[in-house]
Amino acid sequence: MKNGRKEPIKASWSVRRAVLRRPVGAPVTRLCSDLRCRRFHGVRTFDDGAVRFTVAMEGPGTLDFHYDGSTGEMAIERVRGSEASTSITVFRHAGRIDVEFGVGDCVIDRPIGAFSCNSVFGTVELRRQRGHFVFADGTIRLEADLPCSSTVLYDGAHGCLEVGPSDGSLALDIATERVLRPSDDDVELIAVPSRHGAVLRWRQLRGPAMRLRPHGEAASFRAGALPAGEEAVIVVGAAARRAVALESVIVRNPARS
């Protein structure tokens, strides 16, 4: 704080590979049927005999959710009274791999400071995020300082991240999917920011290491680094004076007979 005024948030972001640790000290509730919770707060583990998972709602606010044991889907219905210091965690414990469990499509239209889940079926949309924000999915961790109200979108099917200011003041023009051809050798991806002077960075999130070569608005890699039948996810992010924007690119190398 300077001269009694809050200093503006400096736009920044980082993504790294990281394991999500389970919440500790949670009492266990045994389930005999589907579960519905309203105004949940605190930390608790639920076990229906096939799946064990822990839900943590810490900081201001409460959570409405339900769990359908026949499909293994947990649906987040509503977040009430949350603030930038609120964190939400859904953690699936190790167990039977033939039994599904995951968070389905959901929209959280309240500010929170962190959202962590190591099993997502659908798309998680987090609106009105501002300030320091953390997202973790069990294998990667995003940390961002968002100067203005922003939306964070996570596609659980492919492990893709997207971030953008709610007012559209910064965006990235890039093809979000690239399918490799047999003739490809050196592959280049190009991202064009909507605002002049935005600083771009590239990171590979998933898939076999491809030795990505970033250079400004472009990044390149050797097509042979991605084996046939595999896919990788690359993220590009832009930071400007008052905004952060991220896009993910899925790179696929189809299996060929």
- From CA 153, how far away is CA 110, in angstroms rounded? 14
pLDDT lower than 50: segments of the chain: none
What is residue 6's predicted lDDT score, i.e. its pLDDT? 64
> What pTM value is reported for the model?
0.92
What is residue 24's predicted lDDT score, i.e. its pLDDT? 86
Residue positions counted in the chain? 257
Strand segments, DSSP code E, in 24-176 are 28-30, 35-40, 42-47, 52-58, 62-68, 73-80, 87-92, 102-103, 106-108, 114-117, 123-136, 140-155, 160-165, 172-173
Compute CA distances 85 → 58, 130, 148, 169, whole Å.
8, 11, 16, 25
What is residue 5's predicted lDDT score, i.e. its pLDDT? 55
- From CA 202, how far away is CA 210, in angstroms rounded? 13
Q: Which residues are within 8 A (CB) of 113 and not within 5 positions of it... i.e. 6 or more apart?
A: 59, 83, 84, 85, 86, 87, 131, 132, 133, 134
Q: What is the pLDDT of residues 140-173, one digit of tens each?
A: 999 999 999 999 999 999 999 999 999 999 999 9
